[in-house]
Structure 1
């Protein structure tokens, strides 16, 4: 079912507004997390869970609280640190002469329609 004119205008405006949001652009262009950080986070959460269980078995509340703090701290460390390709190193690599020339961006719907047409022509549908 095709969109009405109003719906199409609203969709176009939303696409335009999303394309102009620099924080969303940075969030969507993050690289993957490093495997070492993921492994360390999993190990830290397991150790924290072990400390919590030790606190429950020994019936010492402070040990259980310490285990929870370890689990929460390691999880936050893993989630909130910058991903690969972000941070100071990425900004230092940027040339100081000025911003690089930007290519004109295609509209989301234009790109989507071009891909659909290519697939239809190639018989991939």
Structure 2
């Protein structure tokens, strides 16, 4: 069922508000996050091997083998859902071709919760409570 004209306007307004309030969150939400299929294949094989070790440990009364199997399964699932490491820029290329080290990052922006708390306090102050 398509959205009505009013609903589309409200949705667009909410998108603009989100983009202006927290552009980093809006950018994160609009990006299509996909993980390479290879990560899931490796994780699936790891989970299967871990399960096999767990079952073999239980069947042969070897608790240490069961623990190893559990840890392998846990590691495989963690590997599947962990964000892949992306190398960021290591410096700035100047006009003459030399690489200048990137400037250290300054003070971080306040997080979402601190911004929400600040807004809450401002609203409470405006209402006179």
TM-score by length of 2: 0.50
For residue 64 of structure 1, report the CA deviation from its aligned partner.
Answer: 1.0
Q: 1:42 aligns with which of 33, 44, 56?
A: 44
Bigger mean CA offset, 47-56 vs 73-82: 73-82
1:23-49: CA deviations, max 9, x gaps?
452354144211211111110110011
Map of 1:64 onto structure 2 = 66
d(CA) in 1 for partners of 2:17, 2:66? 47
Secondary structure of 2:34's aligned partner: coil
Paired residues for 1:10-29 under 5 Å: 14-19=14-19, 20-23=22-25, 25-26=27-28, 28-29=30-31
Structure 1 portions without partners, runs of 5+: 1-9, 98-125
Q: 1:35 to 1:11 in 2, by over 3 A?
A: closer
Q: 1:59 to 1:32 in 2, by over 3 A?
A: same
Q: 1:74 to 1:17 in 2, by over 3 A?
A: farther
Residue 76 (structure 1) aligned with residue 75 (structure 2): no
Corresponding residue pairs, total: 91
CA RMSD, Structure 1 to Structure 2 (Å): 3.4
TM-score by length of 1: 0.52
Structure 2 portions without partners, runs of 5+: 1-9, 95-129
Higher relative contact order (CA 8 A, sep 6+): 1
